Structure 1
Amino acid sequence: MNKGSDWDMPAPDGIAKIILDKVEAGELDIVPDEMGLGMFNAWKEEPSKLAEMFSNMYHAE
């Protein structure tokens, strides 16, 4: 998904464990990494904040 980026991506096996643990705990909203959680929280607070975050990530100079 982020091919060519210099972002430090979490290991797939760690992400899988987080997802399985949250499913077992009955959680419905599962966001297994810090960056995604920040985006999810911004969206829950105000969807336009997520659009602003993406704009800043991809179009900031």
Structure 2
Amino acid sequence: MDLTGAVWRKSSRSSANGGDCVEVADNLPGVVGVRDSKDATGPALTFAPSAWRAFVAQVAERA
């Protein structure tokens, strides 16, 4: 999956001093990318937008 042009954003709940954070890119058509913020050149997972929305909804439900 080519993620060239992805605009990555970190959660607003992430602290400024690092930690265990993920970044999400949801600006590409038909795909949502997720990566480790400490390894920006490393691998990324990709999800269909509907699968990502379902995941986020389940996480929010349990928070």
The TM-score range, normalised by the shorter chain, is: 0.3 to 0.5
Q: TM-score, normalised by structure 1?
A: 0.34
Q: Which has the higher strand share?
A: 2
Over alpha carbons, which structure has the higher Rg? 1
Q: Which structure has the highest helix share of the two? A: 1
